[in-house]
Amino acid sequence: MKLGITLNEMIKFFRSLRRKLLESGNLKKYLLYSIGEIILVVVGILIALQINNWNEFRKLRSLEKEYLIDLKKEFLQNKAGVAENIEYHEFLLSNSALILKACQKDTILLNGEPLAVAIEQVGWTYPVGFNTDVWTELNSTGNLRVVSNKSFYKSLTDFYGFVDYFIAEEKECTSFNLGVRRILGDVLNPNLRLDISEKLHPKRYSGSVTNVPDQKSICDKLDQLSGVNGYLVDIIEGRRTTMSMLEYALVKIDDIVMVLDEELNTAQ
């Protein structure tokens, strides 16, 4: 603002001086001052443009920093969600394997509770639910342009592309869990199922229940059902794949958070 006022005052001064020179009949000095006035205006315009460009650059960098902070929060939330989902997968895989081994007499259980818990849990799902709010906003508003580090921009694009692929794979694996749930729904007594579910978390079981049938009784019921083994194998194969994808996601999240920290340090 001060620059604008000073520039206007100088222009008025030159115009006044030019008028006086013109009135005095000194054409040479009049031309020199006219050229000087033009140069001054051009320089003023260039300075004003430079200031505008600098202000725009500063605004973009400020906006970029805000997005980087929000992205870091989002990635840390997703990291916690991925870590929890890996625990679910470990529990699910062990329970699926337990049912197969028990029915094939490859393992002998002293009581049927672990088997009953496994039968209840294999029908459960526990989606990761990747949070993509910040990324969606960046895309929808066109603000992706504020990400100045183009290699980091590509890393973000690749990661969220992986998220879309993972979600598609997760839907297929979820169908296996829902399928086996329908088949195994009547293997356990309803009251026993409710008792177990009160103490069961998708990734762990705490507590104990009573009136649980022994391994043979449970497996005899399972032997009468068609498709159980097929679903269990599908669950194991599918969840091993998604486990590998989740472990990959953890590595990529750590890499991206590290770059985010570097970018934020640079932005300070």
Report yes or no on 103 lying in a domain: yes
- Whether the pLDDT of residue 229 is over 70: the answer is yes
Q: What is the pLDDT of residue 98?
A: 96
Maximum distance among all Cα pairs of the chain, rounded to whole angstroms: 121
Q: How many domains does the chain have?
A: 1
Cα separation, 38 vs 42, in Å, equals 6
For residues 114-122, give the mean pLDDT: 96
pLDDT at 7 over 60: no
The answer to whether residue 2 sits within a structural domain is no
State the Cα angle at 119 between 93 and 181, rounded to 5°: 95
Question: Averaged over 101-130, what is the pLDDT?
Answer: 92
Residue 73 within any structural domain of the chain: no
Q: How much is the average pLDDT of 60-87?
A: 91
Q: 38 versus 220: which is more confidently predicted?
A: 220
pLDDT over 70, % of the chain: 84
The boundaries of the domain holding residue 177 are 81-267
Q: Give the pLDDT confidence score for residue 38 in this predicted structure.
A: 72
Residue 163 belongs to some domain of the structure = yes
Distance CA 158, CA 251 (A): 13
Asked if residue 168 belongs to a domain, the reply is: yes
Q: How far apart are CA 229 and CA 99, in angstroms?
A: 9
Quote the pLDDT of residue 65: 87
Here the tokens at position 88 are 């679910």
Residue 108 included in any domain: yes
Average pLDDT of the residues in 236-260 = 95
In a domain, 39, yes or no: no
Residue 154 lies in a domain: yes
CB 170 within 8 A of CB 242: yes
**DSSP codes, 150-186:** HHHHHHHHHHHHHHHHHHHHHHHHHHHHHHHHHHHTT
Task: Tell if the pTM clears 0.85, that is, is over it.
Answer: no
Query: How many C-beta neighbours within 10 Å does residue 38 have?
Result: 11
More confident residue, 43 or 102: 102
Question: What's residue 31's pLDDT?
Answer: 64
Which pair of tokens denotes residue 197? 């579910």
> Is residue 4 pLDDT above 50, yes or no?
no
244 C-beta neighbours (distance < 10 Å), count: 11
- How does pLDDT run across 15-62, given as a tens digit for each residue? 665 666 556 655 566 566 667 667 777 777 777 777 766 777 777 778
pLDDT category of residue 1 using cuts at 50, 70 and 90: very low
Q: Using H for helix, E for strand and C for coil, what is the string for 210-252?
A: CCCCCHHHHHHHHHCCCCHHHHHHHHHHHHHHHHHHHHHHHHH
